[in-house]
Amino acid sequence: MTNKAARNLFIFGSLFFFAIFLGLTYDTMGKLDKRAPEITEQVNAGKMVWHKYDCIGCHTIFGNGSYFAPDLTKTTVNKPKGYLKQFLMDPKSANPNASMPKLGIKPDEADNIITFLEWTSKVDTNNWPPKPILATAGGVAGRELTEGQRLYQSLGCSACHTINGIGGTTGPDLTTVGAKRDRVWLAGHFKEPKAFVPESPMPKVEAPDADIEKLTDYMLSLK
């Protein structure tokens, strides 16, 4: 191959692939809005808050960013809004173990950013992030679960709490909660968390008394 032929291959080959890339970009741009919910003014305001505090300097969103703190794409799916708001404004008041600093996020900014994150959680991301294989399998393997264990799963408690190493770290670890709390405390706390822990960001457990009783039994068995 002569030098001239090699040069022409480089130039025209590059232009050829760039033309394909432009075509795909055009097609993609036409499809993006259908793959995501409508962007309201509040979603956009939340996105501006995201940029203002340089959130991507620690977190990732759609998996892109800084890998220093959790990915926030689906965070509103598992975490209660009240918790998120309190956490955003003063992380350590919602979770004493939090590493996130208090940035001075204002109440309306917190609302906006939660709305923005609700938007990202509904974007069609080709099923990313995938459901963890083992944790998913653990719930459907046909093991005999007690009523309380089933309620613990169906109410989504593990999004924030950990038992035996599995679960979230935003709420207290419950592995030995049965040794620390009694029945009155646990059942009362489920119905009205703030009556027992004034600063608690935990939402009330909206369930019939019978279910609260079963959940309490389960908690007491954790020693």
Partner 1 sequence: MSLKYQSQKIAEYFYTFAVVLFLVQVVVGIIAALQFIWPGFFILNFNTVRTLHINAMVVWLLVGMMGATYYVVPEESETELWGLPLAKFQFWATVVAVTAVILGYIWMGINPQANSPIMGMTPLNEGREYIEAPRWADALIVVSVLLFLFVNFMTMLKTKKWTGIQGTLLGGLLVLALMYLPGMFYTKSMVKDQFWWWWVVHLWVEGAWEVIAGALLAFMLMKVVGAKREVVEKWMYIEVGFVMFTGILGTGHHYYWIGTPSYWLWVGGIFSSLEPVPLLFMVWDAFRTTRDARNVENRAGLYYTVAHAIFNFVGAGLWGVIHTLPQINKWTHGTQITTAHGHLAFYGAYVLLVLSMIYITLPAIRGVKAFNASRAFQSFWWMTISMVFIVLTITGAGMVQVYMERLMGLDYVAVKANYNLWFWVLRAIFGVGFLIGVGIFVVDFFKLGKEPAPAVAAVSDR
Q: From the CB of residue 109, how many other CB atoms can be counted at a distance below 10 Å?
A: 20
Chain residues 111-140 in contact with partner 1, contact rule CB under 8 A = 116, 119-120, 123-136, 138
Chain residues 173-192 in contact with partner 1, contact rule CB under 8 A = none
Binding mask 70-89 for partner 1 (x = CB under 8 A): xx------------------
Does residue 20 bind partner 1 (CB under 8 A)? yes
Does residue 1 bind partner 1 (CB under 8 A)? yes
Best CA proximity match to 70, nearest among 84, 82, 81: 84
The piece of 10-18, 145-153, 177-185, 208-216 that touches partner 1 (CB under 8 A) is 10-18
Does residue 47 bind partner 1 (CB under 8 A)? yes
Does residue 9 bind partner 1 (CB under 8 A)? yes
Q: How far is CA 107 from CA 93, 170, 193, in A?
A: 15, 20, 22
Amino acid sitting at position 222: L
Does residue 96 bind partner 1 (CB under 8 A)? no
N- to C-terminal Cα separation, the chain: 76
Binding mask 137-176 for partner 1 (x = CB under 8 A): -x-----------------------x--xxxxxx------
DSSP 81-123: HHHHHHHHH-HHHH-TT---------HHHHHHHHHHHHHHHTS
